[in-house]
Amino acid sequence: MFLQTVITGLSIGGIYALMAVGYSLVFSVLNFSNFAHGAVIMLGAYVGLALATKLNLGFGLVLAGSVAGAGIIAVLNEKLAYSSLRGRKAPSLYLMISAMGCAVFLENLVYATIGSRFYAFPEFFGRQVVTLWGSSVSLLDGGAFLFALLAIFGLHLFIRRTRTGIAIRAGVCDMTMCSLMGVDLNRLIAVVFLLAGGFAGVAGVFLGVKYLVYPTMGWVTNKAYIAAVIGGLGSLPGALAGGLILGMVETFVSTYVSSVLRDVFSFTLLIAFLVWRPNGLMGIDSEDKV
């Protein structure tokens, strides 16, 4: 029972982490909470769904297509809704409100055009189950978890090792400085959104395969946002840790306390972290000077 709970927690946590990475990436560079991320994840799922059902593509191609689609959507989102705000150095709150507007807009646009129907992906993995130390793990959950770890690790390497990655890290430290040193800020930010969107695509497909595809499926990303806050907004290892912690905590609360209280508990955790530890467990200090 205990081990089963841990495993379920980890597998949910892996998906939370995958989604939380997108929040953290954007926050680390632009210092605002991009609530449109959930909508991008949802759109990524629909892109994947279209590829899988209309074109009958295999899982790998679906994933790739969804990553590309969501990445492009995220970049467009930035260009249309954030870049001019960024240009006139608007408060991060304005960016957040604009993001919220995007989320409401996209979600309801899908609702109004495609409809509120629930769609299922084709069965890519069947319902295969692996038995691990007496507890059962579905192949999908196990695969998703491993893939999430690998993807986040890959992103970590990208940011540490490549030129663009290093430029992003410099941008995190100081945007103005960065533009003075001749780094093309717009390109840099486009790359960041492309990455965040790519992760949204992956998360969308996994979510869609595990559950279903529907307009408000992005709502789960509220949880991913909580995970990002717990880990420390703007920190990639934090997003991973926060996702896993939240996944475990939620599973334990719903198994041993009550599944009703689970969401209340998570939101309380969000508020508690914002109030008492706004930089999360691993976040960098983002306090403004007086």
Partner 1 sequence: MDYILSIVTLACINMIAVLGLSIFTGFTGLFSFGHAAFVGVGAYTSAVLTYYYPVPFPLALAAGAAAAGAVSLVIGVPTLRAKLRSDYFAIAILGFGEALRVILENLGITNGARGLPGIDDHTTLPVVLLCLAGGVVVARNFLRSRWGVACVAVREDPVAAELSGVRIFRTRLLSLVVSAVFCGLSGGLLAHFLSFIQPVMFTLTQSTQLLAAVIAGGMGSITGPLIASFVFIALPEALRVAQMWRLVAYGLLLVLIMVYRPQGLMGYRELSSLWGKRAGPSAGRRP
33 belongs to the binding site for partner 1 (CB under 8 A): yes
**What character string, x for contact with partner 1 (CB under 8 A) and - otherwise, covers 206-235?**
----------------x--xx--x------
Instruction: Considering the complex, state which of residue 162 and residue 259 has its C-beta at the smaller distance from partner 1.
Output: 259
Which residues make Cβ contacts (< 8 Å) with residue 53, sequence separation at least 6? Answer: 119, 121, 122
Q: Which does 278 bind (CB under 5 to 8 A by kind): ligand ATP, partner 1, none?
A: partner 1
Which one-letter amino acid corresponds to residue 135?
S
Give least dist CB 290 to ligand ATP, A: 5
290 belongs to the binding site for ligand ATP (CB under 6 A): yes
98 belongs to the binding site for partner 1 (CB under 8 A): yes
Q: Which does 289 bind (CB under 5 to 8 A by kind): ligand ATP, partner 1, none?
A: ligand ATP
Q: Give the H/E segment covering residue 132.
A: strand 129-132
In the block, which residue shows the tokens 């200090």? 285
Among 26, 19, 74, residue whose Cα is nearest residue 171: 26
Which residues make Cβ contacts (< 8 Å) with residue 185, sequence separation at least 6? Answer: 171, 175, 178, 179
- Taking the C-alpha atoms of residue 78 and residue 262, their distance in angstroms, rounded to an integer, is 33
**What character string, x for contact with partner 1 (CB under 8 A) and - otherwise, covers 246-265?**
--------------x--xx-
Instruction: Considering the complex, state which of residue 1 and residue 290 has its C-beta at the smaller distance from ligand ATP.
Output: 290
* # binding residues, partner 1 (CB under 8 A): 44
| Chain residues 67-96 in contact with partner 1, contact rule CB under 8 A | 80-81, 84-85, 90-96
288 belongs to the binding site for partner 1 (CB under 8 A): yes
Q: Do 171 and 188 touch, CB atoms closer than 8 A?
A: yes
Instruction: Considering the complex, state which of residue 129 and residue 177 has its C-beta at the smaller distance from ligand ATP.
Output: 177
Give least dist CB 246 to ligand ATP, A: 34
Which one-letter amino acid corresponds to residue 101?
G
289 belongs to the binding site for ligand ATP (CB under 6 A): yes
Among 119, 146, 128, residue whose Cα is nearest residue 53: 119
Give least dist CB 288 to ligand ATP, A: 10
Give the torsion sign (CA, 96, 98, 101, 105): negative
287 belongs to the binding site for ligand ATP (CB under 6 A): no
Instruction: Considering the complex, state which of residue 123 and residue 288 has its C-beta at the smaller distance from ligand ATP.
Output: 288
Q: Which does 93 bind (CB under 5 to 8 A by kind): ligand ATP, partner 1, none?
A: partner 1
Work out which of 55, 109, 157, 173 binds partner 1, going by CB under 8 A.
Answer: 109
Helices (H) and strands (E) counted in the chain, each on its own, are 12, 2
Q: Do 110 and 46 touch, CB atoms closer than 8 A?
A: yes
Cα distances (Å, whole numbers) of residue 50 to 40, 62, 121, 167, 213: 15, 9, 9, 35, 11
Cα Rg of the chain, angstroms: 19
Residues lying near ligand ATP in the complex (CB under 6 A): 289-290
Residues lying near partner 1 in the complex (CB under 8 A): 32-33, 80-81, 84-85, 90-98, 100-109, 111-112, 222, 225-226, 229, 260, 263-264, 267-268, 270-271, 274-276, 278, 288, 290
